Amino acid sequence: MREHLTGQLQRLLDAADVTSSWARDAVRLLPALLGPVAGRPLGAGPPSPSFVSDDHSPAELSVSFASDGVPTVRVLVEPGCGARTVADSGRAGLRALHRMASCWNVDAEPVARVKDLFLPAAARGPFSLWCALDLRRSGPPGVKVYLNPEAHSGDRAAEVVEEALTRFGFGPAWPALTARAASWCPDRGRLLFFALDLGHWQEPRVKLYIAHQGFSVEEAEAVAGLLPGGTPQRVGDFCRTVGGGARRFDRLPLVSCLSFTRRDRERPSGHTLHVPVRDYARDDCVARDRAAAVLGAHGGGDTALLDKALAAMTPRRLSDGVGLISYVSLARSTAGPPRVTVYLSPEAYAIHPPHDLPRDTALGEGA
């Protein structure tokens, strides 16, 4: 696993021309962040189910395309993959976080502030703590931490998130969010992640990820409308393109991310829609074309970099599998231009065969 992931990350950094010393440090540190699974042979299979990737690889890579033409590369890892219990996984995650904090002079106090909420002694759920690095052409990486709102139980997720927002000064945002979300929570909206930006960010965010089961494009537009001054119609167009014309997403759900910053304590400062393209496209060739289309539509249309990134991940033909491109997302902010991110699976343990559909047909179409 160590050789597989560090090779992919290094090639992806080279493709995006992210060659700083900080990026090289990230490649060297990656095996330590993975923990014992780093030395596990791929042929032995995953040590435990991991929610990070469809084949249970404990990592995910991505490339973010901005309209200013400066990309970033991200690597997400589950340090506690293979741990005996969820609580043990959380402790492994904290050790990995402290390694990153020491390496790049990052203050991990925000995680300690909500440790009782998300890392209890008897933690539950499919994961405990994930860490991610945003690797840039210049400057140290930004660190992200993803925490499980259902660590106590699914029934307490809303209570946990409300308290966490309050501790970071965003308590006033919760009533407005729940009022707008009355039509899709809790029955069709799962509180998926609570995330924190740590360290070197121009404007650190507190983020809430929500999975929307069975959402239509119009419902996705309604959530996008929570961003002040946003353009929900553009989000709808993005959703239709990546989803291949799907009108309702009844298989893997759409995921919204609402981000909060000090600029506004009552309303989100950012909104991102993640479309699980691998469940609505026949193969990765189709998924690649859809990603290229939205790159062109949102100002970051470097399809040459997209193709280099895909080649950095795998030598296989895109038409021979589906899931290498797992998600495509559109991020919008009240402070900057839109950004498209393409999420990539390591395919360390498995390559999923193409769906049995015509090349230009979406699984959600007509649902």
What is the model's pLDDT at position 175? 87
Position 229 confidence tier, pLDDT thresholds 50, 70, 90: confident
What is the model's pLDDT at position 184? 56
For a pLDDT cut of 90, what percent of the chain falls above it? 83
Please determine, for residue 208, whether its predicted confidence score (pLDDT) is greater than 80.
Answer: yes
Distance CA 344, CA 9 (A): 11
Please determine, for residue 242, whether its predicted confidence score (pLDDT) is greater than 80.
Answer: yes
pLDDT digits (tens, 9 = 90+) for 113-165: 999 999 999 999 999 999 999 999 999 999 999 999 999 998 999 999 999 99
Please determine, for residue 364, whether its predicted confidence score (pLDDT) is greater than 80.
Answer: no
Q: What integer is the mean pLDDT of 215-242?
A: 92
CA distances from 248 to 19, 188, 362 (A): 41, 13, 11
Tell me which of 182 and 350 has the higher pLDDT. 350
Burial grade of 253 (CB within 10 A; 0-12, 13-18, 19 or more): buried
Q: What is the DSSP secondary-structure string of 49-92?
A: --SSSTT--SEEEEEEEETTS--EEEEEE-TTTT-SSHHHHHHH
In this structure, what token pair is assigned to residue 343?
């999420």
Distance CA 93, CA 141 (A): 18
Position 363 confidence tier, pLDDT thresholds 50, 70, 90: very low
**Could you tell me how many helices (H) and strands (E) the chain has, helices first?**
11, 12
Under DSSP, the state recorded for 331 is E
Q: Are 78 and 94 in contact (CB under 8 A)?
A: no
pLDDT digits (tens, 9 = 90+) for 152-196: 998 999 999 999 999 999 999 998 888 766 555 555 678 999 999
pLDDT digits (tens, 9 = 90+) for 68-86: 778 999 999 999 999 999 9
In this structure, what token pair is assigned to residue 191?
């509180």
What is the model's pLDDT at position 367? 33
According to DSSP, the residues that pair with 357 across neighbouring strands are none
Position 67 confidence tier, pLDDT thresholds 50, 70, 90: confident
Q: Are 274 and 330 in contact (CB under 8 A)?
A: no
Please determine, for residue 359, whether its predicted confidence score (pLDDT) is greater than 60.
Answer: no
What is the model's pLDDT at position 233? 93
pLDDT digits (tens, 9 = 90+) for 272-311: 999 999 999 999 999 999 999 999 998 767 899 999 999 9
Q: What integer is the mean pLDDT of 222-237?
A: 90
Position 360 confidence tier, pLDDT thresholds 50, 70, 90: low
pLDDT digits (tens, 9 = 90+) for 3-47: 999 999 999 999 999 999 999 999 999 999 999 999 999 999 999
